[in-house]
Amino acid sequence: MFERFTDSARAAVVDAQAQARALDATEIRPEHLLLGVLATADRSLRAQLAGVGLTGDAVFADLEAADGVLGPDDADALESIGIDLDAIRERLESTFGEGILDRRSPAAGRPGRWGHMPFARGAKKSLELALREAIARRERSITAEHLLLGILRSDDPTALGLIEKHITRGDLRQLLAARLDRAA
């Protein structure tokens, strides 16, 4: 299947692994493929997506923010049972140094910087669906647009949630179909 990928689509898949590592993931998931596409797609696609706020920086920030960070509602809930998160943070920072809770620690058992990182089931499904999108359109190559269409069809809740913060599924599908129609 990978022989059918354009250079841009291949670069997106390679970049997805780097994105997964940057987020301390143990496998490549659909949201990492999304980040890979947003980082490596051609300038015009990136500009169109950025026009609706769908950028690599925005998605990466959303993923980092969702990665185990307690928000104000969580702090309020804990305070209701006598736990003061601010006091705990102050105590930890005075003992271990400022920003200690903001640093990521290497997780035991995770692949090293250059080790093999497997594709999660959802990412495999997204890649398969990208191929199906290209076949359905009778196109020989799989492009970044096809990858995005595959991610949309995969129904992965994380990836779709990240996309739908900026653009509806239907609108993104139309945008991508119009781009593919123009390229044909």
Q: What is the pLDDT of residues 119-154, one digit of tens each?
A: 999 999 999 999 999 999 999 999 999 999 999 999
Give the pLDDT score at 150: 97
Give the pLDDT score at 14: 94
- In a 10 Å sphere around its CB, with 0-12 CB exposed, 13-18 middle and 19+ buried, how is residue 26 labelled? middle
pLDDT tier for residue 167 given thresholds of 50, 70 and 90: very high
Give the pLDDT score at 90: 80
Which residue blocks in 55-143 are alpha helix, DSSP H? 56-66, 72-79, 85-96, 121-136
Give the pLDDT score at 108: 42
Domain limits, the chain: 2-68+119-183, 72-102
For CA atoms 170, 171, 177, 178, give the dihedral sign. positive
Structure-block tokens of residue 65: 């923010």
Give the pLDDT score at 44: 95
The Cβ of residue 160 has, within 10 Å, a number of other Cβ atoms equal to 17
Indicate the pTM of the whole model: 0.77
Report whether pLDDT(105) > 80.
no
Range 2-68+119-183: architecture per CATH = Orthogonal Bundle (1.10)
Report whether pLDDT(98) > 80.
no
Q: Which residues contact residue 4 at a Cβ distance below 8 angstroms, ignoring those fewer than 6 apart?
A: 131, 134, 140, 141, 142
CA of 33: how far to CAs of 14, 78, 107, in Å? 9, 35, 22
Q: Which residues contact residue 101 at a Cβ distance below 8 angstroms, ignoring those fewer than 6 apart?
A: 89, 92, 93
End-to-end CA distance of the chain: 21
